[in-house]
Structure 1
Amino acid sequence: MLGIAWYSLANYLWDDGQPPLEMKLGVIGVGAIAQIMHVPYLAELPEADIHAIADPGKNVVETFGDRYNVPNRYTESTALIEAQADALDGVVITTPMHTHAEVAIAALEADLHTFVEKPVAVTPADAQRVVDAAEESDAVCMVGYMKRFDPGFQRFQSGLDDLSEIDLVTSTVIPPDVGSVLEENYDIVYADLADSFIEESNETRRKQVERAIGTDDETLSKAYDFHLESICHDVNALRSAFGSVERIDHVDIFGDWQFITAQLRYEGDRRCLLKAGTSDRKWYDERIRVDAPEGSASIEFSNAFIKNTPSDVRTKLGTAKTTETRHTPSSDEPFKRELRHFLECIDGSATPRTPPEESKRDVELIADLVRTYDQVGESGSVSR
């Protein structure tokens, strides 16, 4: 027992034997993913102190304020920022995507270190505004691309250097019925909101989507609204591994708005087939595969809504003789790893791995995919 107690104590000490300094944080937006991941993991990290929370649902604020003993509670993000700017070290923004830019800019203008969930904005113009605000602020800004912190993805990416060349990249993103996954695994507290609030929020989001893609076509608007939020993780992961997309060769949107396929050219004329959709299944189909002359490397991501489920990384090499290797690097939770990285950015020991400039380029690319389909349909291509 003594050994276990000493080990537990050691986990909460720095190398010099002193307890870690707590950083006061505000959490803005306490929806499902924040309830499952962000808030519990911040509470686990000894360096973090949840000093304030804000959510338009008063019932959510009171429930999680009581559960995590949060002293300062608000129903408006601006009220939290204005009242707590001098007390806080940073904020974690997990509001709906059409509010990300507005809240992040307000936090950065108050010189608060800012973690904002992906995507950084709905429109490329608003994404640029966040980039500008980050450049003008003394605070750091980081976008929540948790897959970049997945030990499996890091293992997959490092293994790409072992391939002689890359013939083809294939990325598939077909998420499940998220609502059923949440219902089976968690007791989510949903906000009690007035119908007028919801209607106004939905209208704001609709207008941003239309501005982003330059059309009010309902099918394309639904496609962009869904796929921006769904595939931006994977678009960012592909950017990290292969650089920038230099050309969009082909885009197809079908199944009403639910499915999209695209042929992309990355730096060095590397070709990628992107396939994305939606389903009522309960299992994720999210993977990246790289084919090379001597074999293939792939990662199959785990269900992002189930904690501590490791991704599956495989390599298959050989022509006359085949060797297949399966890697499970770690079940360490990517959401927790990215929050720990954000705290390291606050204390100056790291720089943001996922800055807003990257997310702006992701938003631009996904908007270009929809605009390309709208402009040239199934037979054209567009250089970027």
Structure 2
Amino acid sequence: MEFAIIGCGTIAQIMHIPNVLEVPDAELAALCDPAANVTDELGERYNVAPGRRYSDPDRLIDESADDLDAVIVTTPMQTHADVVERTLTAGLHTLVEKPLAVTPADADRLADIAAQSDATAMVAYNRRFELAYERLTDELDDVEHIDSVTAYAVDADFSKSLPDIYDLVEPELDAAFLERSTDRRREQCKQAIGTDDDDLAAAYDFQLEHVCHDINALRGLFGDIAAVDHVDFVRDGFFGIAHLVFESGERCLLQTGDSERHWHEQFVRIDAPDRTLRLEFDHPFVKYNSATLSVRQGAEETVDCQYSPTREESFKRELERFMACVRGERDVPTPVSEARDDVELIASLFTQSLE
């Protein structure tokens, strides 16, 4: 299966490109990024011919769509809607990084396009492919009643550690290009939540990229979210608390924020009358850094168990599942329609807080 990578930034260099090279039956056929130095250096590093290195997604699709099977879209989120519309319309199977889009309107448009396309469309929520997450879904089958759910995600500054771990190619882009891209992103964020406030738009920008993982992970465990009972943002929107109510009846306290801490902390805790289950995620940019599941149970005596999977990479398992979906062997676990609902929900947290 021949892949093109559209958008060759940090997550593409750390995860997606190496995984395409390592997974059997996947081949890296083309690279696309506006920074020519990135596609040139990565092309040399991974043996992608000069004629298959592109700076513009439209040109890649026009010239190479017939020679490709699939694309992985890892461009900045403000470009997802336009790029994914082109790839799906061209009949290319598409794995797109989260979030699906910046505005609910664009996300809804992509959901319609995906429903009409014969191509497979899947959103890259890699946390859903952690072995410990799958183990949690199995453990929940034995839980008769859930008292409460807590989801907590507070980011550290990952950029401080990445240069010491990976040999990343930094893009060389002119100031005018970067300014146009930043302006477009800011305007989409404002449109998404109906504000003219730059600070609030910046907070939505952060929260959308940050908490969509948690929203989707919760959706995979408990189904659709029926209501949001309460929302409270502090620090100009960069830390928030929300009370979510799922259609299945579970209630969740969601805490999401940015921090100056040195450590990353992200977990889902489920309290039942006779047990507590805690799924904990580690640094999201470190390969083979698997999530762990801890279970404590017992009414008369306490039994502790920790499930620490073998070091399988969730991004690689995600790619393998995507390829199985393309071949018609499996159903898409993270469809565009659910990712659309995630964008709508996160935007609604901000609009509800403004009311």
Name the TM-score class by shorter chain. Answer: over 0.9
Residue 180 of structure 1: aligned partner = 160
Q: Are 1:89 and 1:346, in contact at CA under 8 Å, matched by a contact in 2? A: no
Q: Quick one: distance in 2 between partners of 1:370 and 1:220?
A: 9
Q: Quick one: distance in 2 between partners of 1:170 and 1:220?
A: 25
Code of the residue aligned with 1:342 in structure 2: it is F
Question: Residue 250 of structure 1: SS of its match in structure 2?
Answer: strand
Match of 2:200 among 220, 240, 248: 220
Q: How far apart are residue 264 of structure 1 and its match?
A: 1.1
Give the percent of matched residue pairs that are identical in Structure 1 and Structure 2.
Answer: 44
Residue 75 of structure 2: aligned partner = 95
Residue 6 of structure 2: aligned partner = 28
Residue 3 of structure 1: aligned partner = none
Residue 370 of structure 1: aligned partner = 350
Corresponding position: 1:58 with 2:58: no
Corresponding position: 1:42 with 2:20: yes
Q: How far apart are residue 225 of structure 1 and its match?
A: 0.5
Match of 2:297 among 317, 326, 329: 317
Deviations 1:258-304 (A, max 9, x none): 20111111123311000011122232100000001112111001111
> 4+ residue stretches of structure 1 with deviation over 6 A?
none
Question: Residue 206 of structure 1: SS of its match in structure 2?
Answer: helix
Deviations 1:109-145 (A, max 9, x none): 1001011000111111101111111122211101000
Corresponding position: 1:108 with 2:88: yes
Q: Quick one: distance in 2 between partners of 1:327 and 1:374?
A: 41
Q: How far apart are residue 241 of structure 1 and its match?
A: 0.4
Q: Quick one: distance in 2 between partners of 1:315 and 1:360?
A: 32
Q: Quick one: distance in 2 between partners of 1:144 and 1:292?
A: 30
Q: Quick one: distance in 2 between partners of 1:352 and 1:63?
A: 34
Aligned residue runs from structure 1 range 176-255, under 5 A: 176-255=156-235
Match of 2:63 among 83, 89, 98: 83
Q: Are 1:170 and 1:272, in contact at CA under 8 Å, matched by a contact in 2? A: yes
Q: Quick one: distance in 2 between partners of 1:184 and 1:260?
A: 31
Q: Quick one: distance in 2 between partners of 1:53 and 1:131?
A: 26
Question: Residue 246 of structure 1: SS of its match in structure 2?
Answer: strand
Greater C-alpha Rg: 1
Q: How far apart are residue 319 of structure 1 and its match?
A: 2.6
Q: How far apart are residue 57 of structure 1 and its match?
A: 0.4
Query: Where does the alignment leave 5 or more consecutive residues of structure 2 unmatched?
Result: none
Q: Are 1:122 and 1:363, in contact at CA under 8 Å, matched by a contact in 2? A: yes
Q: Quick one: distance in 1 between partners of 2:251 and 2:23?
A: 41
Q: Are 1:166 and 1:290, in contact at CA under 8 Å, matched by a contact in 2? A: yes
Code of the residue aligned with 1:60 in structure 2: it is V
Corresponding position: 1:260 with 2:240: yes
Question: Residue 331 of structure 2: SS of its match in structure 1?
Answer: coil
Question: Residue 370 of structure 1: SS of its match in structure 2?
Answer: helix
Question: Residue 236 of structure 2: SS of its match in structure 1?
Answer: coil
Corresponding position: 1:336 with 2:316: yes
Question: Residue 277 of structure 1: SS of its match in structure 2?
Answer: strand
Q: Quick one: distance in 2 between partners of 1:57 and 1:44?
A: 25
Q: Quick one: distance in 2 between partners of 1:91 and 1:132?
A: 19
The alignment's TM-score, normalised by the length of structure 1, stands at 0.90
The two structures, once aligned, show a CA RMSD in angstroms of 1.0
Code of the residue aligned with 2:9 in structure 1: it is G
Q: Are 1:47 and 1:343, in contact at CA under 8 Å, matched by a contact in 2? A: no
Aligned residue runs from structure 1 range 146-161, under 5 A: 146-161=126-141
